[in-house]
Structure 1
């Protein structure tokens, strides 16, 4: 195949394209904003591609108000599924489904910056429709709540009963409180402190 170097029909890479390609290979993944299916798909694709590339550690930076639980589950499970060590780094706020993603990493690989705040709470959802459907939805929320209590208990070293009691209402933790609670492994102020 002969290539014409003067062919200007090939799209030229922009600075944005080059920055995106460079960032993609940097082994850093950024999760910001609402956790939804599009964010989960983009994040999981990035994690799987980096896992294929090498077994070097991957850094996942999280600042999120939370969102869709099953989308958070997808990212959480893939963090545990892939071979490379994943370090989660909280910044800003890490709430709800964002916290679910955060605890996908092992405790020793969970970091946050000094001003990070965490929010844990029980899952919620809008219930509507016929009475039988509402009963099914309420039961699914109960099952999800029990799963959350168990998952965060395993991640923090607290009991499921303590997690349930603490998250009966919005449960806010500043960085040092999150570390004492077992949610955070290390509070860091610079990238050189990642290990």
Structure 2
């Protein structure tokens, strides 16, 4: 009996020890279960607040629901695009539930005709201005002021002589020579040349000589008129017009000045090269002004050695221009009836369409 009592005592002690060993594991499992329940409740609250995992009007799911991939609602016609292409282009509706819904795709947005020039201008369409220059394009007259001036054979130089201005003027001169070589070209000048009022060079001296060479190359006579100011090599362009047709408005100003070069840095040889080019440009300027004004080269070189201003009357005396234009003087510019041109073009187009329809009916 003592042995049995001892054995039962050992068993009771072992059971108590096992119970004590198992108690922490049960407590840990209970704590883990509580944490999972709290996590589920928090996830359900987040899902409900963000609108994920369930639809409006349905009860929230009992478990944690992972957010689904955004689904793209394609329009009625997908125009041959895949779902990925529609997503990249931003077309269709986004059904993620975040409230970011894109507008429906409309057929008008994908029409090539929406970008034709003839369509009306809207926020989603563009229209390019037609630079119609003496081409008599059907449907409308020249639409903008520069085209109207060029259609009247007027080249307007209203900026400093930079490469972009030179390119435009030369292009206009070549076009006018092609369109009507027997009619004069009117060059209106309001420019400071290739320098600023402070004497800073903004363009090359060859800009003016390129324009003058083109004026001498084309067949039409060149009539020049200064409006406002003609300084530096712009005055040389003014004086290069046809003798007897070089004009100035009463309150315009004319100035001759030598070519200038901005401050230069570098090796001595490079600076000397630039100085030699500047001397050559000055000699070219003197040669042209001497030929246009009829004065001696030495006198012209002395006069252009510094800035010299001329009134229109003084410019006539010096030989830069021939006449001061008064308000009563009329400039012989060819006038065009653009409304009549438009009506004639429209009637011609209607006649061509009716003739084609009759030919189709006969066939």
1:156 and 2:281 correspond? no
Q: Flag the 1:179–1:194 CA change in 2: closer, same or farther, 3 A.
A: farther
Partner of 1:91: 227
Partner of 2:269: 132
Q: Provide the aligned C-alpha RMSD in A.
A: 2.0
TM-score of the superposed pair, with normalisation by structure 2: 0.49
1:141 is displaced (CA, Å) by 1.0
Greater share of strand residues, 1 or 2?
A: 1
Q: Flag the 1:141–1:25 CA change in 2: closer, same or farther, 3 A.
A: same
Matched-pair contact (CA < 8 Å) for 1:76–1:102: no
Aligned residue for 1:108, secondary structure, equals coil
**Deviation per residue, 1:129-159 (Å, 9 max, x gap):** 2100111111111111112111100100111
1:106 is displaced (CA, Å) by 2.3
1:10 and 2:116 correspond? yes
Gaps of 5+ in 1: 1-6
Matches within 5 A, 1:15-94: 18-19=143-144, 20-54=146-180, 55-67=182-194, 68=203, 69-94=205-230
Partner of 1:122: 258
1:15 is displaced (CA, Å) by 9.3
Could you tell which deviates more after superposition, 64-73 or 43-52?
A: 64-73
Partner of 2:310: 173
**Deviation per residue, 1:66-108 (Å, 9 max, x gap):** 1131111111111111100110101101001211221221232
Greater relative CO (CA pairs within 8 A, separation 6+): 1
Gaps of 5+ in 2: 1-112, 119-127, 132-141, 195-202, 334-363
Could you tell which deviates more after superposition, 12-21 or 125-134?
A: 12-21
Task: Please identify runs of 4+ aligned residues in structure 1 that moved more than 2 A.
Answer: 7-10, 12-17, 19-24
Matched-pair contact (CA < 8 Å) for 1:77–1:104: no
TM-score of the superposed pair, with normalisation by structure 1: 0.89
Q: Flag the 1:8–1:188 CA change in 2: closer, same or farther, 3 A.
A: same
